[in-house]
Chain A
Amino acid sequence: MENLLEVRNLRKDFQTKKGLLQAVNDISFNVRKGETLGIVGESGCGKSTTGRAVLRLVEPTGGEVRFEGQNILGYSSRKMREARKDMQIIFQDPFASLNPRMSISQIIAEPFDVYRMYNPSERAQRVQELMRTVGLSNKLVNSFPHELDGGRRQRVGVARALALSPKFIVCDEPVSALDVSIQAQILNLIQDLQQKLDLTYVFISHDLSVVKHISNRVAVMYLGKFVELTTSRQIFANPLHPYTQALLSAIPIPKVNVEKRQRVILEGDVPSPVNPPAGCIFSGRCPYVMPRCREAPPPVVEAEPDHFVSCYLVSDKMPPHVPATAHSAGDSSPT
């Protein structure tokens, strides 16, 4: 399958008072055309920064982001503005992501203003189309965000992201702020739009159930790195990284009488991404930690087709001929 987005050795450092914060620490992955790649992780793991770095909403410190084969990190700001038409984002907080002083139609039409597209009547019609697409009544055109509930606001955010007919959308925790019944509506909308408009998503969330539900493949992120990347079926059926296992077992399942998985309770808190541990980033909390885990980071290996993991427990079992190329997670389809 064709890759729409190829990310290589992406890095984003922030200079903080306590030291260098490596929010995104050498991540590589591909996003295939028409798929949804889920990124799941706990707060502070760098998942949102990854999404923003891919769109250059935060400027990456290093690496490459190739969109349709072109490295957009080398783009001038003028060229980047053009590229933004194809790459959009849906934000987490439908309260903070809409300008409270602008009406719904102004918010949705803002991209047209920015690129000086359409005359006023075409613009009004396009706004109506977009509102219909996301399931908003035309009666709301002149409303203001504070008059809408969270679910409708999030629909406005989706409409704005769709305005320029993008090919690729980063969904940054788009349902985390919503109640479950509304969350399900928005998830369905996001899925429907993907089919209808041929969209490719990166879907970021802390909720593994949501990510698993909507994604074709899932990357598990911990302290700025992907520890495991595989299909959403395999991530549940055969989690290989101890962190993925712990994450899965920690989720309370809304069922009774089911065989509960052996719960792995991790000790301690997520360490600070400032000065992360040497060696494997998970070594501080890993129940299976070995001395060498603290010395050098484990290689990324393809444990089974389309299943990448970075852990000595897995790589030790692999036949030696498997190339332990460090940053190949996601370079799935052999070229």
Chain B
Amino acid sequence: MAERLLEIDNLRVEYHTDDGVVTAVEDLQLHVEKGQTVGLVGETGAGKTTTALSIMRLVPAPPGRIVSGSVHFHGEDLLHKRLDEIKKIRGNKISMIFQDPMTSLNPVLTIGFQIEEAVVLHQGLDARAARARAGEMLRLVGIPPEREGDYPHEFSGGMRQRVGIAMALSCNPELLIADEPTTALDVTIQAQVLELMKRLRQQFSTSMLLITHDLGVVAEVCDQVAIMYAGTIVEYADVNTLFTNPRHPYTRGLFGSIPSLDEEVTRLNPIKGLMPDPTALPSGCKFHPRCPMAGEICKTRVPQTTNLGQGHSVHCMIYEGLVPGYEE
């Protein structure tokens, strides 16, 4: 088996707000193997971004708090490291690409300076080597190195995301966390950026945790997929299995909600209802109020992980034999 680069266990993150305690992530299990790209899929409020921020120890506190669990990176628990140790890992061994790179780029510094700064800080390169490195990174993402003297606002959205990628890769990280990296982009630009990410991933053999709500992007770039709902992962499988044989009712519902380009579907078959109120999550299985298959037991019992073989696991009472399942 390949080496587990990142392993998250029983992670629980809460936000303490005026309206009550929001459990953003609950008993989360997830791992990323070396060289793999894992897609973390879910809707708004599922806890995807909180998961990513927990890995980087960037959950805003207060109101956020990592209550329990562990995040092992190379076998060491990041949650128990000192802040100065974490800072050596952040942006160096683990780096992040954001949805809107404008928020992660400093508007008053040139992009060249910002890349060089990271390289000098983490890799200990001297100014000249850092400059060469920045130019090289920019060329790699398809930006002429002459533009390193430009400021973030002088780039278009797609170009800015390339700068974000160049910055994230400048220290040659082992793990890249990409939080909706193409959501803000137009489809033709998204195609460029996805192509670039695929190419660079091969070139650098970086592992990646890709957070997205777009199953199309997942099919395009991921090896493994984790489907997240209301703070927990409800299904985990490799991309082929998940797309050809989705098991969890929520996963199936997601597929039923997407309009298809190549098939004639007159009516979509959406999941009924809405995301639950995060301050008052349903008891038992959190998906039961929206689940077409739910039985009585789903209201009270929390589903356990069922292994369906070949790394395909699902959190649903159907597969524990407690609720009648689908007629196949």
Contact = CB atoms under 8 A, between A and B. Distances in A.
A and B touch in the complex (CB under 8 A): yes
A305 interface: no
Contacts of A138: none
A149 B274 contact: yes
Given A180-B43, A265-B192, A252 B258 contact: no
Interface string A253-267: 111111000010110
Main SS of chain B's interface residues? helix
Nearest to B269: A184
A188 B261 contact: no
A331 to B, nearest CB: 27
A275 interface: no
Contacts of A183: 257, 270
B258 A209 contact: yes
Interface in B245-275: 253-262, 264-265, 267-272, 274-275
Contacts of A269: 156, 158-159, 189
Contacts of A257: 240, 243-244
B240 A250 contact: no
Interface string A237-275: 000000000111111111111100001011001100000
Of B191, B215, B271, most A-chain CB atoms within 10 Å: B191
A236 interface: yes
A262 B284 CA distance: 46
A182 interface: yes
A256 B303 CA distance: 28
Interface residues of B, number: 46
A251 B216 contact: yes
Interface stretch (B79-87, B145-153, B217-225): B217-225
A210 B259 CA distance: 6
A247 B188 contact: yes
A233 interface: yes
Contacts of A209: 258-261
B181 to A, nearest CB: 13
Given A209-B260, A256-B243, A179 B275 contact: yes
A254 B259 contact: no
A149 B36 CA distance: 36
B10 interface: no
A254 B213 contact: no
A212 interface: yes
Contact of B187 (A191, A212, A250, A254): A250
Interface in B166-214: 186-192, 194-195, 213-214
B239 interface: yes
Interface of B: 43-44, 156, 158-159, 186-192, 194-195, 213-220, 239-240, 243-244, 253-262, 264-265, 267-272, 274-275
Given A182-B43, A253-B262, A257-B244, 8 more contacts: A180-B258, A181-B43, A208-B187, A209-B258, A256-B244, A258-B262, A266-B188, A270-B186
10 contacts: A43-B186, A181-B43, A181-B253, A191-B267, A212-B259, A213-B260, A247-B188, A250-B187, A251-B261, A252-B194
